Amino acid sequence: MKKTILMMMLLFAAVLSPAAVPANLALGAKATASAEDDKEPGAMRAEKAVDGDWNSRWSSGTKSKTAWLLLDLGVPKEIGEVRIQWEYAAAKEYSILFSEDGREFTEVAVKKNGRPEEIISFPLASRKARFVKLECRKRLTSYGYSIYELELYGKSANLAFGGKLSASSVEQPAYAAEFAADGARSTRWSSARRDNQWLLLELPEEKTVAKIVLDWERAAAKEYAVGLSRDGRNFTEVYAGKNGVSGRRTIEVEPQTAKFIRIDCRRRLTPYGFSLYEVGVFGPQE
C-alpha cells in the first residue's frame, strides 16, 4: 500500500507539473484539529498531515461525524493550489477555507463527491492566507476522517488552472468539460459517442504558450489537432496527428501569445467518444 501511494504521488506530480516540484508551503506548519485518534497516542495527531511523510497520517477517530483541520503558516502566504492525499477514511463532503487573521474565513473550494484514497488538487485564484482550514462535513465511511498529507503551493505553472472550459458535447454531467483542468486525475471530460468533437479552454488572460500536455483516457482521439487563438475566432493550428493513443502526450510549439486553446477531436480511437483526464498549458520556462 505504501509503495502504491508513493507511485501515485509521483504520477500526480508529473501530470500537474512537468518542471521541478515547487515548495510545499504547508510543510511544518502548526496544525490543530477538532479531534485526533487516541488509540495510538501521538500516532495520528494533526501535525502528521503536514510532516511531509506519506506513511503517516492525521485521523479524527471514529466518533467524529464532522471534523476540522486547521493550519497556521505563521505569516500570510500567496496560495494558488491545495493538494490533499486522503486515506481510505475520506470525507464525502468537505470544504477548504482561507483566512488572514484566523477569525474571518472565506470558502475557496467545495467537494461533494470525495473518494477513498483520493489524491486531489484544487487549483485556485492565487490569494494570501495565513490560516487554511479543512472542514469535513460528511463521512464516506464509519471510521471518521483521515489524511496522509495536506499540501499548499504558490501559483501553479499550469496556465490552464483557473481557465474556462467548454465543449461541443458532454457524455453526462459527471464528465463535464470543467473537469479537464481541475488538477484531479480522478475526474475527466468525456464527449458524446461520435467523431468531430472539440474542447475549448479560455485562459484567464493572454499568455505565452510553449507546451501543451494532454492526458488522454482510454477513449482517446486517434486523429486530432490543437489550435491557438487570441480572440477565440481565428485559430492557428500548431499540431495535427493521426496516430493518437491513450496516455500522456506532450506537444511543444513555437512560443506564441494565446488566450484560447482548442482541441479538435476528429476521429475516435474507441466506440466511446473522446475523453481527457487533464489539459496542461505551460509557458516557455516550464
> E-strand spans in 140-274?
146-153, 164-167, 189-190, 197-216, 221-229, 236-241, 247-268
Q: Looking up cell 474507441, which residue turns up?
A: 270
Q: How far is residue 23's CA from residue 167's CA, in Å, rounded to a whole number?
A: 34
What b/e sequence results for 109-121 when a residue is b if at least 16 CB atoms lie within 10 Å of its CB, and e otherwise? eebeebbebbbbb
- Could you name the CATH architecture of 164-282? Sandwich (2.60)
Residue type, 260: F
CATH 2.60.120.260 in the chain, residue ranges: 2-153, 164-282
Q: For the chain, which ranges sit under pLDDT 70? A: 1-21, 40-42, 125, 286
- The confidence score (pLDDT) of residue 285 equals 72
Does domain 2-153 match CATH 2.60.120.260? yes
- The confidence score (pLDDT) of residue 8 equals 47
Secondary structure element (H or E) that encloses residue 95, with its range: strand 91-99
- The confidence score (pLDDT) of residue 6 equals 45
- The confidence score (pLDDT) of residue 286 equals 61
